[in-house]
Amino acid sequence: MLDTMFATETMAELSARQGRVADAVAIYRHLLSGAEAGERLEKWKGRLAELEAGATTAAAAAPPSAAPRTPSAPARTEAAEATAERASLVIREPVRSGQVIYAEGRDLIVVAPVHSGAQLLADGHIHVYGPLKGRAVAGAHGLRDAQLFCLALEAELVGVDTGYLLSDDIPAALWGGPTRVSLTAAGTCTVAALSTGKVVAPAAATRARGIFG
């Protein structure tokens, strides 16, 4: 059964990359059922057709972030305005393994540790004022300007929109330190040290991992 909480383009593309084509197809069908006419709708229709035709081998071999997207300015603006209208979701207790925290239509602020196996998802920005050892994706519904901030990056996976980095992709120089995760104009996920602002290009992923299940 499809968990609609995580039925986003991010999850669909990650599922396709990891070989879970059926999951990706189910997510895209769900997205299309509630989508309005526009550029994103046509893109989803095309991607669904590719998946259903079985033409996913090449796409699954490369991270979703390797395929730059240029969504329309109105779509980005609507997502940003919707997020700004709602107060941030603030979590003050440690997020344990197996827990899932989703900030729908707003930012997520965690003022406690996020343990391995814990999962954070927000339509807006994510701030973690403590160690981040689980998985976290900001801008989950298309807000490409969203960012993720944490005081100690030790995550299994971090991402923004459809771009993401696995733990193996995070440079050793930034591991365990205060960092900022964002997307470049080309749609590539990058991580920077908050203290210096130095951006380090991520290495190519060496293996795929499941996200949110």
Q: What pLDDT is attached to residue 109? A: 97
Average the pLDDT over each of 28-32, 140-144, 169-173 and give the range with the smallest value.
28-32
Mean pLDDT of 91-97: 95
Six-digit token string for 14:
């990650």
Residue type, 72: S
DSSP label at 192?
Answer: E
pLDDT of 106: 94
Strand ranges in 81-147 using DSSP code E only, listed in sequence order: 89-91, 100-103, 108-110, 119-122, 126-132, 135-138
How far is it, in rounded angstroms, from Cα 177 to Cα 175?
Answer: 6
The band of 25, judged by pLDDT with boundaries at 50, 70 and 90, is confident
Please report the pLDDT score of residue 118 as a whole number. Answer: 93
The gap from C-alpha 6 to its chain's centroid, in whole angstroms, comes to 10
Domain segments of the chain as ranges: 4-62, 77-200
Residue 94 has pLDDT above 90, yes or no: yes
pLDDT at 78 > cutoff 70: no
Instruction: Please state, in angstroms and as integers, the Cα–Cα distance from residue 90 to each residue in 87, 103, 109, 116, 130, following that order.
Output: 9, 9, 5, 19, 13
- The predicted model scores a pTM of 0.61
Q: What share of the chain is helix, strand, coil (3-state, %, to 5)?
A: 30, 25, 45
Output the pLDDT for position 208.
Answer: 35
Would you state the CATH architecture of domain 77-200? 3 Solenoid (2.160)
Q: What is the mean pLDDT of residues 45-61?
A: 69
Q: Radius of gyration (Cα) for the chain, nearest Å?
A: 16
User: What does the pLDDT look like over 152-165, one tens digit per residue?
Assistant: 999 999 999 888 89
pLDDT of amino acid 77: 54
pLDDT of res. 171: 94
